[in-house]
Amino acid sequence: MKIYKEGEKSRALCSHCKEVVPTTFKVRDVPFSSGKGQAKDILVAICDSCDKLVSVPQQSAPRIREQRKKLVRSIEARVPKHLYDMLLVSYDEMGIDSSDKVAPIVRYYINEYKMNFRKSDFAKIINSEHIKGKASERVSIKLSESLFVEFNKLKEKMGISTTDLIKTFMLRFYDDIIEKKQTARQMDKLKSIFIVAS
Ligand SMILES: [Zn+2]
């Protein structure tokens, strides 16, 4: 691999100038390919005539990937009070005390539905009486960039809103923990998965 130094000169095709131009390796912030956010302080080739980014050397890829992984996305929603109570009851039953109550569930069910997706499950939940009611409890969830992408994919697949998907996860959790009467072994398994997701 060719390794470049800061300040080193090279030549490359600039898409802005539409010709091969002299370039200089400089430290700049680079937008992520997703278009959301940017990687800070990355060594890249800059066009000497227009000062725009011309190319990102291979050596900079791990630094960009590292920052992309750390990127945290926030999701906000309002849910009914009783639904949040159902969530707390489920946590009590599991014997887990997590300061962050909603995010572990969202993380867990995103992966669960990724592996095991049945649209009929959603239909049952979304038509439940428990989903309805005045939404006075505010929830805020922090997700990694990759989980955020998965969350949105699932939302699209279902054709439902952010709030409805969060409510779906909360109700499914209650269903799995309280209604389904898990055996002690299943409960232990769930607990260990949840502790990892927390
Ligand atoms: Zn240029």
Domain positions in the chain are 9-70, 72-197
Q: Which are the contacts of 123, defined by CB distance < 8 A and separation ≥ 6?
A: none
At residue 23, φ and ψ (nearest 5 deg) are -125, 160
Ligand 1 centroid to 71 CA: how many Å? 30
Residue 45 CA to ligand 1 centre (angstroms): 11
CA–centroid distance, 55 to ligand 1, in Å, is 11
Provide the CA 155 distance to its chain's centre, in angstroms: 13
In CATH, what class is 9-70? alpha beta
* pLDDT tens for each residue of the chain, 198 residues long: 999 999 999 999 999 999 999 999 999 999 887 777 889 999 999 999 999 999 999 999 999 988 888 888 899 999 999 999 999 999 888 887 777 889 888 988 898 888 777 777 777 777 888 888 899 999 999 888 888 989 999 999 888 899 999 999 999 889 888 888 777 777 777 777 776 655
